[in-house]
Structure 1
Amino acid sequence: MSIVNTLTLESNRQIKINFDGGDLSSDAGLLLIKEFAAKIGFTKLIKKKFKTNDEAVRFHKDAENLLQMIYQVISAYFQDDCADELTLDPVFLAVLGKESLASQPTLSRFFNRMDEDTLVQFNDIDKKLRDIIYSIKRPEHVLFDLDSTLFGTYGRQEGEGFN
């Protein structure tokens, strides 16, 4: 029986994973998710296929903001407000390959730039990603487990009846 002492990530050769009981991080599992995303080409797909209809030159690009929010949600940071706590988080910085993350106001402006065209892009990305995954192995059956989630709204926000 062999034991893996140190594993180097293909997506970032500077990051090494070992199991010697050293410093711990509750978000370090993101590194393995990033590795999986890199192997299936998810990050490249987002950067190639996603952009809002906004021509302004921005420090935090649309695809980077989307990836940040995806990783935040995977890590149970569901609100864009959580970005302020994560701005200099070392695991998120390593996963996203940035010196600092987008702040809550930046993410809010990003969400406000989304329109019907971005929904079409999400659909296209979903189709391409499904093609990639199915090229590896097509499932015989697909099971959907749908649960409702309550997102509370405060005040008289537009769309509050949707929840």
Structure 2
Amino acid sequence: MTNILDHSLDFNSKISFCDDGTQLTNDAGLFLTTEFLQKIDFNKMIKSFLPQIDSRCRPKHGFSELLTQLLLQKIAGYQNDSMIAALAKDAALKLCLGTDQLASQPTISRFINRLDQTATDGFSRLNLALNRRLIAQSNQSDMVLDV
């Protein structure tokens, strides 16, 4: 059996795991999720399948960073955008995103509101690409659909 304490994370080598009983975050599972996203080159996939819709002059947070923050937030169980204020103090999400400051709730809300049909089509293409990658990796030739 492999122990996570025996491995380091590729996306951020400054992160260390310990089992001395201290608790630094409730969202440590996000490290493994971020490691997975880095292994599949998720940011590159975002840039190739989704339009970079950003009409702001000098955005502090880019499209892929906002999408990744929103995705990690939802995976961690924070379903409402209003939870971002509480997450702003959580070191785990900041480490996963490689930033000192998370996007604010209004920024995330504006980001969601800017998504249009073009973005929806991009999400469909991204989902298809991820599914194809999974099928190719697991070497599946048959699929059963239970309707």
Structure 2 unaligned regions, length at least 5: none
Give, as a single letter, the amino acid of the residue that structure 1 aligns with 2:80: Q
**Is 2:52 aligned against 1:49?**
no
Assess if the C-alpha contact under 8 Å between 1:40 and 1:133 holds in 2.
no
Q: Partner of 1:8: helix, strand, or coil?
A: coil
Cα-Cα RMSD:
2.5
Alpha-carbon separation, structure 2, partners of 1:115 and 1:3:
43
Alignment of 1:60-71 (within 5 A): 60-71=61-72
Residue 24 of structure 1 and its aligned partner are, at CA, apart by 4.4
Change (3 A) 1:116 1:5: closer
Confirm or deny: 8 A CA contact 2:88 2:102 kept in the other structure. yes
- Give the aligned residue type for 1:29: G
Q: How many residues align?
A: 145
Counterpart CA distance in 1 for 2:83 and 2:4 is: 34
Q: Which amino acid aligns with 1:16?
A: S
Corresponding position of 1:75: 76
Shift of 1:138: 4.2
1:25 deviation in Å?
A: 2.2
Measure, in 1, the Cα distance between the counterparts of 2:73 and 2:139: 28
1:131-150 equivalences under 5 Å are: 131-139=132-140, 140-141=142-143
Alignment of 1:24-43 (within 5 A): 24-43=24-43
Aligned to 1:93: 94
Q: Percent identity?
A: 34
Paired AA for residue 124 in structure 2? N
TM-score (norm 1): 0.76
Q: TM-score, normalised by structure 2?
A: 0.83
Q: What corresponds to 2:16 in structure 1?
A: 16
Q: CA deviation at 1:142?
A: 5.6
Partners of 1:63 and 1:91 lie apart in 2 by: 18
- For the Cα contact (< 8 Å) 1:52–1:114, is it kept in 2? no
Q: Aligned-pair distance for 1:143?
A: 6.7
The structure carrying a bigger helix percent of its residues is 2
Task: Give the aligned residue type for 1:122.
Answer: F
- Letter in structure 1 aligned against 2:116: D
Shift of 1:21: 3.1
Q: Structure 1, unaligned stretches of length 5 or more?
A: 145-163
More moved, 9-18 vs 121-130: 9-18
- Amino acid in the other structure paired with 1:13: S
3-state SS of paired residue (2:10): coil
